[in-house]
Amino acid sequence: MSPAALRPSMKEELDEKESEILGIMFGDGSVRPTLRSLKIEVSGHKVDDRDYLLGHVSGLFREVFGLKMRPYYRRKENSMVIYAYSQQVGLELHEWGMPIGSKVRAILVPRVSVKTVPFIRGLFDTDGCIYRKYGPYAQVQFKSASRDLMNYARGLLVSLGFRPTAVIKDESRFKFYICRQVEVVRFIRVIRPANKKHMERFKAVLKGF
């Protein structure tokens, strides 16, 4: 284990923008070592998530870290990433709880206190979805390969007064839902997703499309 992994976090609580960034990183982000630095990436769909990644996410990294995220579009794929190289920022994210390298076997739980609403926003915008349950009724889903992350996120939502389902396993992933329509509407109002694809989907479901 590296010295950085053994070093305790120097920060006890994240502010709102930092909390949202950590939620984003836990969702579709990564921190990977290179020969001379650490590479910070956030991935998404090159059409559905483009405005969110280039606008909102890049803006957060610029405001919090002074870091310029650059886009890369994967050839013959529907995905894209925004990325930057920074040893300092990568280690700070690691101190907050973001693993360096693969997230598959990592314990994805913050090492610091987070602001609940922005953390959930960042996680939902990258790793959540809204879809039609039946008729004009929507359902919110959180899904991840990490059981620890799903249990943690579910606990945060319970603390906000929501009543999500239990975390269940689906093939290689874990998921839970917010199903009651009054809670789905309240989720949108309280969490205020920043990724416009979720709002567009929510409005489409309400119209019965």
Flag whether 113 is in a domain.
Answer: no
Q: How many Cβ atoms sit within 10 Å of the Cβ of residue 3?
A: 6
Number of domains in the chain: 2
Last residue of a domain, one of 80, 105, 130: 105
Last residue of a domain, one of 45, 80, 105: 105
pLDDT, residue 203, reads 83
pLDDT in tens, 30-73: 999 999 999 999 999 999 999 999 999 999 999 999 999 999 99
C-alpha dihedral over 172, 201, 140, 143, to 10 degrees? 20
Predicted TM-score of the model (pTM):
0.91
Give yes or no: residues 140 and 64 share one domain: no
Flag whether 2 is in a domain.
Answer: no
Flag whether 5 is in a domain.
Answer: no
Give yes or no: residues 141 and 179 share one domain: yes
pLDDT in tens, 155-197: 999 999 999 999 999 888 999 999 999 999 999 999 999 999 9
Q: Torsion-angle region of residue 81: left (phi > 0), alpha (psi -120 to 50) or beta?
A: beta
Q: Are 193 and 125 in contact (CB under 8 A)?
A: yes
Give yes or no: residues 155 and 202 share one domain: yes
Give yes or no: residues 75 and 34 share one domain: yes
- Long-range contacts, 156-161 (Cβ 8 Å, 24+): 156/116, 156/119, 156/120, 157/120, 159/116, 160/116, 160/117, 160/120, 160/190
pLDDT, residue 208, reads 60
pLDDT at 3 over 50: no
CA pair distance 4, 14, nearest whole angstrom: 19
Query: Which CATH number fits the domain that encloses residue 94?
Result: 3.10.28.10
CA pair distance 176, 129, nearest whole angstrom: 11
Q: State the residue range of the domain holding 70.
A: 10-105
Flag whether 189 is in a domain.
Answer: yes
Give Cβ neighbours of residue 74 (< 8 Å, ≥ 6 apart). Answer: 46, 80, 81
